[in-house]
Chain A
Amino acid sequence: MKWFLLRRLGGALFVLLALSIVVYAAFYVAPGNVAQIACGPRCSPAQVAQVSGQLHLGDPLYMQYAHFLQGLFVGRDYSTGTGVLHCQAPCLGLSYQSDQQVTELILAKLPATASLAVGAFVLWMLLGVGTGLLSVWRRGRLTERILTGITLAGMATPVFVIGLLLIIILVTALQILPFPDYVPLTENPEQWAWNLLLPWISLALVSAAPYARMTRASMLETLAEDHVRTFRAYGVSERALVGRHALRGALAPVIALGALDIGSMFGGAVLTESLFGIPGVGRELVDAVKHVDLPVVVGLVLVTGFFVVLANAVADILQAMADRRVVLA
């Protein structure tokens, strides 16, 4: 088990490093003069040259990447022309637009996104797995067909449609919920949850459908396995068969999918954040892309990658704890 953990975490680290190379290369090797972009369209050639020097753009690419890694692990200094700006590790560089540190920029936006992601995740897992199990329980009956229909519709509907519908019904017509106005958790937990309820529900409704379908398929498959038959032949009740013998195996792929989704959700649920005005990472990303703010884009991609890899590693370790055969593979 110890070796499995080490191997798994080592693998995760390797993936992140590989990701950083690819992302770094993809953005910096892209056509266009980086210094010009960083400086802005109205810069004079002299100013562009100065910026180029500040960013070490004249250095060979591997040196630039080495500087980037250095910033990431030990921090680095930037000359601002008038003085020196120290960027602490983990340093993802400076935003071209605002000269703010990218790390700070992202950290400022992350809590809102994390609030949205985690809350919605809990809700959609409950909803998805519950619906899936219910349709297994009622298989072959009308309930199952209705549930299948609803999940299909859920998969096909974009979040802004469901979100808008919910705003119209719950906020405007029934006036049960307030129009979301993000309040940080640290300020007022009650208001935080109350204001996020609508985004959570909207995001959960569109995200739950694949989970319902996967839970259903995986559960039916597991229920047909020999070991479930064994316990059925020993008088174990159907409920115990599902709860004790089938659920564990059936949920493995569902959890793996969940890990991928929650990880990438940390990179921002762009549509949901925009729709409900949540000041999260997603909106920052859209903004950065619009202004070709390369350090911010690179930083955001890396942070998203970090969470995806982390969530995956956690899912794998959970899986290994549940099923020790995984460790052997």
Chain B
Amino acid sequence: MSLVEVSDLSISFGDVRAVEKLSFSLEAGGALGVVGESGSGKSASAYALLGLHRGTGARVDGSIRVAGVDVTAADDAELRALRGAKAAMVFQDPLSSLDPYYAVGDQIAQVYRVHNRASRRLARARAVEVLDRVGIPDAVRRSRSRPHEFSGGMRQRALIAMALACEPQLLIADEPTTALDVTVQAQILDLLHNLRRETGMGLLLVTHDVGVAAESVDEVLVMQSGRAVERGPVGEVLVAPREPYTQTLLAAVPRIPARPAASDEKPAADRGEVSVNGEELVGTEPLVEAVDVRQVFGRGKSTLAAVDGVSLTVRRGETLGIVGESGSGKTTLGRMLVGLLEPTSGRLTRRARVQMVFQDPVSSLNPRRSIGESVADPLRASGERDEAVIRARVRDLLKRVGLDPEQYDRYPHEFSGGQRQRVGIARALAAEPELIVCDEAVSALDVTTQAQVTALLAQLQRELGLALVFIAHDLAVVRQVSDRVAVMRRGRIVEEGEVDQVYGDPRDPYTKQLLAAVPALDPVLAAVRRAARKELAAA
């Protein structure tokens, strides 16, 4: 009997069909990756395996068997006996997924005692044991810490420890590394890999990131709008996909080894196409120059230098990529370049109009103003009073970013994430900038949308001779769009240079570590990288 057997699973929330006639199975000890973009129904399906839709108003049809339990027919007690003991789940956001009021060890011990007759002491000892197993250093002491005293990666390890506590046959991981930095992600994926090999438990990994799946599973199931599109061994589906949707999805994933062939997505400066009034301008005129800028937050003893002595130059028409993990100071640097923050010390010269595109396309637009009005704001701020002129200009901008000008009076909630980000770009363009700072501008988007938005940025750069500063944590995206790249760590630039040089022949050990952590799309390559990481860690 299979570990997981799902047939004809349909889930609907009110009138919305989230999952439609989904069938799949997972053998004991196997690893299945469920891959899809947001709204594909992958998480809803994973939740259904533990009967977590019960009592939420969601309608679940079809049959689900997990570790011999008929989930749809089981009563509450049977379901509770399944949850955590036979099948355990790891969630996306490790901070909010742990109870802030209790010590991590106590939380794990509680779960252990739900399923095992054990004294408090014994359960506590078990908690320490699993915490140690997932690589929490000094597990006895750290088991007494509360979640907020853990780093992001340690929290996720703690959640995995909780999952291991009762030795389940199946581990369901819902986007387990999405909230983590790339180096931490690699550690967690390696941990999952090793645990699976040692315990022989099955793994169902839900992820939007094809690379993460390639690193961790034997088989993949590609989902789109609630349906299974393609399923097969990871080596086949990700290397030679049969279905058109899988092909599109894979084509959209930014890659590190080689630049995509489509000339549309090549940085403009590469081809020397950027010219204004027939003049070749790329890489000549510095638009923004920073010399040893610092930004210090806090006062007294608790100061933090978010940016600690950075010098860089952005020239007309070029794209400078800035990569770094969370807390590296890249956003603070971006804000200084735009002028949203004044540097604490150092010299920053701005010789051009600079605008910014923000990360979150939902919260960076006022939900109570139509998108046209949002785009018109910079025009009004610059003193334009003629409504006809404003409207004409906004319509022109909307058209330029690939939106229908007739949507001027629509509100943000009527648009998809990618469309909202286009609105954000149009708003930035309204002030006729020569440089746009994109702060994680595509990281909230699905890969196919991400590819469209980066293509749009490249096109605008070509047409308008814009310079771009592209800030992102995703090394592959940065490689795809940039001419030059700067790698940041703890407020400093550790390495800067042409993309080919930095990615092809990194000098700094941190850059090497970052690049080794990026998940590879090819499972064979992923195994090679895993071995390389081991070596790097040992060295």
Contacts and interface: CB of A to CB of B under 8 A. Distances in A.
Interface stretch (A6-14, A16-24, A60-68, A230-238): A230-238
* A interface secondary structure, majority: helix
A305 B148 CA distance: 35
Interface stretch (A42-50, A79-87, A211-219, A221-229): A221-229
A236 B110 contact: yes
Given A235-B80, A235-B85, A325-B148, A229 B110 contact: no
B66 to A, nearest CB: 12
A328 B149 CA distance: 11
B99 A245 contact: yes
B83 A233 contact: yes
Interface stretch (B87-95, B182-190, B213-221, B471-479): B87-95
B162 A226 contact: no
Interface in A225-268: 225-227, 229-237, 244-245, 248-249
B97 interface: yes
A59 interface: no
B114 A227 contact: no
A235 B110 CA distance: 10
Contact of B50 (A226, A233, A245): A233
B289 to A, nearest CB: 38
Contact of B114 (A225, A234, A325): A234
Given A225-B96, A249-B100, A249-B101, A233 B114 contact: no
A237 B52 contact: no
B162 A234 contact: yes
B84 A234 contact: yes
Interface string A106-140: 00000000000000000000000000000000000
Contacts, number: 72
A324 interface: yes
A325 B101 CA distance: 9
Nearest to B163: A234
Q: Number of contact residues on B: which range applies?
A: 20 to 34
Of the listed residues A226, A233, A324, the one surrounded by the most CB atoms of chain B closer than 10 A to its CB is: A233
Nearest to A246: B99
A321 B104 CA distance: 17
Contacts of A325: 100, 146, 148
A324 to B, nearest CB: 6
B444 interface: no
A322 interface: yes
A225 B159 CA distance: 16
Contact of B82 (A229, A232, A235): A235
Q: Which 4 A-B pairs have the closest CB atoms?
A: A234-B84, A235-B83, A226-B96, A235-B80
Given A230-B97, A232-B83, 6 more contacts: A226-B97, A227-B99, A233-B84, A234-B114, A235-B79, A244-B110
23 contacts: A226-B91, A229-B52, A229-B91, A230-B97, A230-B162, A231-B110, A231-B111, A232-B83, A233-B52, A233-B88, A233-B89, A233-B91, A234-B83, A234-B114, A235-B82, A235-B83, A235-B111, A235-B114, A236-B84, A237-B80, A249-B101, A323-B100, A325-B148
